[in-house]
């Protein structure tokens, strides 16, 4: 006889047993040859815009919207080709999207475009900022329409309620605490980026847009100011790390409940539940190497096509101007080092141990059946430091600056000894910082199913001391340069527009040929 679920767990498990009613609507089908070509193009394009897998669909929708709305358009003219492009790129299987969704997406596009016009009419605020918010909100809304994920939303709510009372901000309101826990859960479990976080907070702030159109148009500036304040909250990263370190059991539990034929029946049988948990762990472990390999390939493409061309242009120009020739040895060093470092990272990837699986199994059982599950100790933080902390903070800041000087100074010292010129040194450090950040993310992907504790080993402390400065700089460089990436602009608005036009032409041509062939039958 199985143990009784907690009330919260009962709600969670019941939601996984609800299945969506099958649709009898006619579906959208595309030509398989066009889809094959388009999917390869999409893989190449997304590799140049380094993002987590969970946010690629939304960012792709936003990219297509911007391109198709650039010269005007509305829901009726944008929605059909938008959905076809997504099916071409295999974000959705062929014949899986009902044709009725086209009208729904079209009306959503019209609603948001109308909202943008109304906001710009009522308020004198930066139009580029308004457009950025509207495009991010609209792309997130379209993703919800085309790919609803009720189980993920339920799991996020479940995690939120578990951690809501386990986080305390001594010198701030409970409302702020609740918002920060919500943001941390969305980042930790759902891997939401800034656009998706804005979308979820916006919905919580206003409710359904179609029901609150005038209110949104009137209060938009005030809402954006408040949401931006919450998204930049000083303690957001601390709360995120606290919750992130405890999300592994929830990721595995999500797999177990999704793959079960009957979630209620499964959790009522302890033996089968534990077996399903261990199988889910093993299944996830097998995907790690493939994920890491894909991340490495995407990283090499990302570095070369969006960063290397620009950096090598600077280095080559400098060398020709100063030395009247290009020093190909230094260029080769800077070109080959990033991919070699990426490959080296792949060799150190190991699957988690069986002991890790059993610890996850124990955690999941505690989460499902205990009113006070065995999670990490509650987190208590304060927004403003104590009076004695500023001096200590200054000491830590000076030590942190010292790590930057030592880390970067050591690299510059070695490069000087090798006779590398200043421009090549700058390019090398540029690459090393970006590769360090990407390697850190790949390592995080490789260990995403490892149940961690809060203790730091001597090796991790030394690694943090020497490599964290490079990782921090690499993160800023990757984020900043991605926002002004000329190569991506060329792909999105100069290459992609005619490229997708050719795809559409050939799809229509193949359809015409098939029609002519059918007349001969």
Position with higher pLDDT, 455 vs 162: 162
| H or E element in which residue 298 lies | helix 270-303
Position with higher pLDDT, 273 vs 487: 273
**How large a percentage of the chain has pLDDT more than 70?**
76
Position 276 pLDDT exceeds 80: yes
pLDDT computed for residue 146 by the predictor: 93
Position 319 pLDDT exceeds 50: yes
The string of pLDDT tens digits covering residues 199-213 is: 999 999 998 888 889
Q: Is 488:48 a contact under the CB 8 Å cutoff?
A: yes
Band (pLDDT 50/70/90 cuts) for residue 36 is: confident
Position 158 pLDDT exceeds 90: yes
pLDDT computed for residue 514 by the predictor: 63
Identify the weakest region by mean pLDDT among 47-51, 239-243, 375-379: 47-51
Q: What is the mean pLDDT of the chain?
A: 81
Residues 187-219 as b or e (16 or more Cβ within 10 Å = b): bbbbebbebbbbbbbbeebbeebeeeeeebbee
CA–CA dist 183, 151 (Å, integer) = 18
Position 239 pLDDT exceeds 90: yes
**Mean pLDDT (whole number) for 83-111:** 91
Domain segments of the chain as ranges: 26-148+485-521
Position with higher pLDDT, 321 vs 65: 65
Position 271 pLDDT exceeds 80: yes
Position with higher pLDDT, 508 vs 38: 38
Query: What contacts 310, CB < 8 A, 6 or more positions away?
Result: 486, 487
**Mean pLDDT (whole number) for 74-79:** 92
Q: Would you list the DSSP string of 86-144?
A: HHHTTSS-TT-SBTHHHHHHHHHHHHHHHHHHHHHHH--S-HHHHHHHHHHHHHHHHHH
Task: Choose from 383-397, 475-489, 490-504 the range with maximum mean pLDDT.
Answer: 383-397
Q: Is 86:92 a contact under the CB 8 Å cutoff?
A: yes
380, β-bridge pairs: 168
Position 386 pLDDT exceeds 70: no
CA–CA dist 353, 195 (Å, integer) = 36
CA–CA dist 27, 125 (Å, integer) = 42
CA–CA dist 196, 204 (Å, integer) = 12
Position 480 pLDDT exceeds 70: no
CA–CA dist 476, 296 (Å, integer) = 20
The string of pLDDT tens digits covering residues 280-314 is: 999 888 888 777 777 777 777 766 665 566 556 66
Q: Would you list the DSSP string of 175-213?
A: HHHHHHHHHHHHHHTS---HHHHHHHHHHHHH--GGGSH
Band (pLDDT 50/70/90 cuts) for residue 101 is: very high
Position 112 pLDDT exceeds 80: yes
167, β-bridge pairs: 379
**What CA–CA distances, in Å, run from 20 to 23, 150, 479?**
9, 10, 38
Position with higher pLDDT, 426 vs 13: 13
pLDDT computed for residue 61 by the predictor: 94
CA–CA dist 32, 479 (Å, integer) = 36
**Mean pLDDT (whole number) for 495-515:** 65
Q: Is 371:9 a contact under the CB 8 Å cutoff?
A: no
Q: What phi and psi values does residue 485 have, to the nearest 5 degrees?
A: -75, 110
pLDDT computed for residue 247 by the predictor: 92
Query: What contacts 370, CB < 8 A, 6 or more positions away?
Result: 6
Q: Is 477:433 a contact under the CB 8 Å cutoff?
A: yes
Position 1 pLDDT exceeds 50: no
Give the end-to-end CA distance of the chain in Å, rounded to a whole number: 63
Band (pLDDT 50/70/90 cuts) for residue 194 is: very high
Strand 379-381 to 167-169 pairing? parallel
């Amino acid at each position: 006889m199985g143990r009784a679920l907690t009330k919260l767990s009962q709600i969670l498990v019941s939601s996984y047993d609800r299945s969506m009613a099958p649709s009898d609507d006619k579906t959208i089908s595309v030509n398989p040859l066009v889809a094959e070509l388009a999917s390869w193009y999409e893989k190449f394009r997304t590799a140049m815009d380094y993002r987590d897998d969970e946010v690629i669909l939304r960012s792709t929708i936003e990219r297509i919207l911007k391109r198709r709305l650039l010269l005007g358009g509305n829901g009726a003219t944008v929605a059909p080709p938008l959905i076809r492009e997504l099916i071409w790129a295999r974000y959705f299987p062929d014949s899986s999207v009902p044709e009725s969704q086209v009208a729904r997406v079209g009306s959503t596009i019209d609603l948001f475009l109308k909202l943008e016009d109304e906001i710009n009419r009522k308020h004198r605020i930066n139009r580029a900022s308004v457009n950025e918010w509207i495009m991010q909100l609209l792309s997130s809304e379209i993703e919800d329409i085309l790919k609803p994920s009720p189980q993920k939303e339920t799991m996020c709510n479940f995690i939120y309620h578990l951690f809501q009372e386990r986080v305390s901000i001594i010198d701030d309101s409970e409302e702020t605490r609740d918002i920060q826990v919500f943001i941390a859960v969305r980042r930790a479990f759902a891997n939401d980026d800034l656009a998706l976080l804005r979308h979820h907070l916006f919905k919580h702030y206003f409710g359904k847009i179609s029901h609150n159109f005038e209110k949104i148009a009137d209060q938009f500036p005030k809402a954006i100011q408040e949401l931006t304040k919450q998204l930049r909250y000083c303690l957001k990263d601390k709360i995120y790390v606290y919750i992130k370190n405890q999300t592994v059991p929830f990721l595995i539990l999500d797999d177990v409940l999704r793959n079960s034929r009957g979630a209620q029946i499964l959790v009522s049988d302890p033996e089968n539940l534990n077996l399903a948990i261990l199988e889910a762990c093993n299944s996830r472990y097998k995907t790690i190497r493939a994920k890491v390999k894909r991340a490495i390939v995407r990283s090499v493409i990302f570095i070369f096509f969006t960063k290397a061309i620009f950096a090598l242009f600077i280095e080559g120009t400098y060398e020709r101007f100063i030395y009247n020739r290009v020093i190909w040895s230094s260029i080769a060093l800077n070109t080959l080092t990033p991919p070699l470092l990426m490959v080296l990272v792949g060799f150190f990837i190991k699957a988690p141990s069986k002991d890790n699986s059993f610890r996850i199994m124990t955690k999941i059982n505690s989460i499902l059946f205990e009113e006070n599950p065995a999670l990490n100790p509650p987190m208590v933080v304060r927004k403003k430091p104590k009076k004695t902390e500023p001096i200590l903070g200054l000491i830590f800041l000076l030590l942190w600056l010292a790590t930057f000087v030592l880390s970067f100074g050591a690299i510059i010292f070695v490069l000087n000894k090798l006779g590398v010129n200043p421009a090549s040194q700058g390019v090398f450090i540029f690459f090393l910082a970006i590769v360090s950040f990407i390697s850190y993310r790949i390592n995080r992907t490789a260990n995403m199913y490892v149940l961690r504790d809060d203790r730091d080993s001597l090796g991790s402390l030394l690694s943090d001391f020497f490599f964290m400065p490079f990782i921090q700089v690499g993160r800023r460089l990757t984020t900043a340069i991605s926002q002004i990436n000329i190569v991506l602009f060329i792909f999105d608005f100069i290459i992609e527009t005619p490229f997708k036009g050719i795809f559409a032409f050939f799809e229509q041509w193949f359809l015409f040929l098939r029609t002519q062939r059918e007349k001969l039958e």
